[in-house]
Amino acid sequence: MPWEKQFDIDETLERAMQVFWRQGYRATSVKDLVSAMGIHPGSLYPVYGNKRALFIRALRHYEAMFLSRFDDYAREHSPRHAIIAIFEDIVADAMRNPDYSGCLLANTTLELAPHDAEVARIVATGQGKTERFFLDRIRAGQASKEIPVSVSPTQTARVLLGLLNGLRVLARGKPERPVLQALVRHAEACLA
């Protein structure tokens, strides 16, 4: 009887992404993946390829999921508040969840990007889109007079990207509200 896929590819990819997100690439074994995905080990390779190929798909899935939230922030908030809401939501998530995993893109930046050109490109794309979101929100905020025109859009977008990445790392490694809130307040100050 020919091999037949007996599982939902998107659902199992989501599960794999969650494992990589919690544990990192190197600490995740194929056994961890097939267990979390609920698939037979022999099904992994024909559908997803090897562990690295699965990780690349999971990282791209995460990037698309994370970046789609920017549309929600832009739709639900004024330009300035859209930026601040991202920072505040990270703090809230970290405080609510003792097993907070940070950001898969930021985690991957630290673990793999320096050693893997393809991974570095994916991370750089995600970082670039994040910076672009900040840039667009700053310009929209200046147009609506919510953000002063004295704020440099490009420079501030880059500083916000750095603050956001720092916040993500600290939220995972040192999730103390005063430390995290200091970065939120600094992001607010950048927009004043």
Count of domains in the chain? 1
Answer yes or no: is 134 within a domain.
Answer: yes
In this prediction the pTM is 0.87
DSSP 114: G
pLDDT for 6 = 64
Answer yes or no: is 17 within a domain.
Answer: no
- Residue 79 is part of a domain; what is its CATH number? 1.10.357.10
Answer yes or no: is 98 within a domain.
Answer: yes
Rounded distance between C-alpha atoms, residue 99 and residue 21, angstroms: 11
Q: Which residues contact 39 (CB under 8 A, 6 or more apart)?
A: 7, 12, 47
Domain, as residue range, for 186: 60-190
pLDDT in tens, the chain (192 residues): 344 456 678 888 899 999 999 999 999 998 999 888 888 777 777 778 889 999 999 999 999 888 889 999 999 999 999 999 999 999 999 999 878 888 898 889 888 888 999 999 999 999 999 999 999 999 999 999 999 999 999 999 999 999 999 999 999 888 899 999 999 999 999 999
Answer yes or no: is 36 within a domain.
Answer: no
pLDDT for 4 = 47
DSSP 24: -
Contact (CB, 8 A) for 146 and 78: yes
Give the CA-trace dihedral at 74, 78, 79, 84, to 10 degrees.
Answer: -90
Answer yes or no: is 46 within a domain.
Answer: no
pLDDT for 1 = 38
The angle, 0 to 180 degrees and rounded to 10, between the axes of the packed helices 177-190 and 79-96 is 170
Answer yes or no: is 39 within a domain.
Answer: no
Answer yes or no: is 34 within a domain.
Answer: no
Answer yes or no: is 41 within a domain.
Answer: no
pLDDT for 34 = 86
* Among the listed residues 50, 85, 113, 53, the one whose alpha carbon sits nearest the alpha carbon of residue 191: 85
